[in-house]
């Protein structure tokens, strides 16, 4: 049976009250519901991106104590941090995978800057620390840039792309944009879907039908369960994703299956 990794990104960028116990409890419930990976950012108590790993490491220790969910931490987000500061999570033993952003991006009225020199620094550090990258691509140019980096650097196979649709100023969440992005994904790699500002699951369903290996769900992208329902926990979002998979004769991967499939070494 076809299996897909569900990744949960449980914290919204607008969240101004970061409480490790609360986040960890939500993540553990998502893990029990079928999530195999958690995606987090390094934030302070007010939700600002920071170099201080204190709150994040407390959260990760709570998560790891009671689950085997894969831990992924972002090296990005709109901030004034330098690329060296953004790479701080690469040096944590609790972190198994990290997002890799390979080009600058419009995020509404903000610009998320990733000049190529910064991208290369992140790649070198990521490979040095043996963290598994998830390449977030917001438009076709990012995919092409990663193809060139693949020729220069010795990445472990399989490389995982996350097609990110729906941010204002970037590729829209439409079937046409999804199809165009998929066509650019290099042979021999894997890809998944992230739908920002999602109000329904139609693009996620389309991506699954076209062969997505991963689905990212969670408050970082949307609180909507459907066009009329906003939820206050990430669990219903994971549960709906599992139901969607099973309706398509697919199953969610366990963390162990995902580690093997995506060649994530783990820190167990």
CB of 265 within 8 A of CB of 132?
yes
Residues 23-77 have pLDDT tens digits of 999 999 999 999 999 999 999 999 999 999 999 999 999 999 999 999 999 998 8
E strand spans, 9-77? 37-40, 70-73
> pTM (2 decimals)?
0.97
Percent helix, strand, coil in the chain, to 5, is 35, 20, 40
Q: What is the pLDDT of residue 265?
A: 83
Say what the pLDDT of residue 268 is: 44
> Is residue 59 domain-resident?
yes
Range of the domain at 58: 2-262
Maximal C-alpha separation, the chain: 47
Give Cα 202 to chain centroid, integer Å. Answer: 19
pLDDT at 267: 47
In a domain, 232, yes or no: yes
Q: Does the structure show a pLDDT above 90 at 163? A: yes
d(CA 94, CA 42): 13
- For the chain, where are the alpha helices, taking DSSP H only? 20-33, 54-66, 83-86, 116-128, 140-152, 175-184, 202-209, 235-247, 255-262
Residue 198 pLDDT > 90, yes or no?
A: yes
Q: Burial of 10 by CB count in 10 Å (0-12 exposed, 13-18 middle, 19+ buried)?
A: buried
Residue 98 within a domain:
yes
Supply the CATH number for residue 164's domain: 3.20.20.70
Q: What pLDDT digit, counting tens, does each position of 95-136 carry?
A: 999 999 999 999 989 999 999 999 999 999 999 999 999 999
Judge whether 197 lies within some domain.
Answer: yes
pLDDT band at 266 (very low <50, low <70, confident <90, very high): low
Instruction: Flag whether 268 is in a domain.
Output: no
Mean pLDDT of the chain: 96
Please name every residue paired with 194 in a beta bridge, in sequence order, or none if there are none: 164, 216
Nearest to 243 by CA among 207, 192, 199, 201: 201
The answer to whether position 267 is within a domain reads no
Our count of domains for the chain comes to 1
Write the pLDDT tens digit of every residue in 143-160: 999 999 999 999 999 999
Query: Would residue 207 count as lying in a domain?
Result: yes
Q: What pLDDT score was predicted for residue 1?
A: 66
Q: Is residue 204 part of a domain?
A: yes
């Amino acid at each position: 049976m076809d299996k897909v990794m569900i990744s949960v990104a449980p914290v919204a960028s607008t969240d101004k009250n970061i409480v490790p116990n609360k986040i960890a409890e939500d993540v553990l419930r998502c893990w029990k519901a079928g999530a195999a990976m958690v995606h987090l950012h390094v934030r302070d108590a007010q939700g600002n991106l920071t170099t201080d790993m204190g709150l994040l490491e407390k959260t990760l220790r709570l998560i790891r104590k009671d689950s085997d969910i894969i831990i992924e931490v972002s090296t990005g987000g709109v901030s004034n941090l330098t690329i060296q500061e953004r790479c701080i999570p690469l040096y944590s033993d609790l972190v198994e995978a990290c997002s890799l952003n390979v080009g600058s991006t419009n995020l509404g009225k903000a610009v998320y800057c990733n000049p190529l020199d910064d991208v290369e620094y992140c790649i070198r550090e990521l490979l040095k620390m043996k963290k598994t990258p998830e390449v977030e691509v917001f438009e076709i140019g990012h995919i092409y840039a990663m193809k060139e980096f693949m020729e220069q650097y010795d990445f472990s196979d399989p490389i995982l792309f996350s097609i990110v649709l729906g941010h204002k100023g970037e590729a829209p969440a439409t079937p046409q944009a999804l199809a165009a992005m998929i066509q650019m994904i290099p042979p021999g790699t894997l890809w998944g879907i992230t739908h920002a500002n999602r109000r329904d699951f139609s693009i996620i369903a389309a991506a699954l039908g076209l062969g997505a290996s991963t689905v990212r769900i969670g408050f970082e992208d949307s609180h909507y369960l459907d066009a009329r329902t906003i939820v206050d926990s990430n669990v219903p979002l994971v549960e709906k994703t599992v139901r969607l998979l099973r309706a398509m004769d697919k199953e969610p991967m366990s963390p162990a299956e995902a580690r093997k499939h995506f060649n994530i070494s783990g820190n167990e």
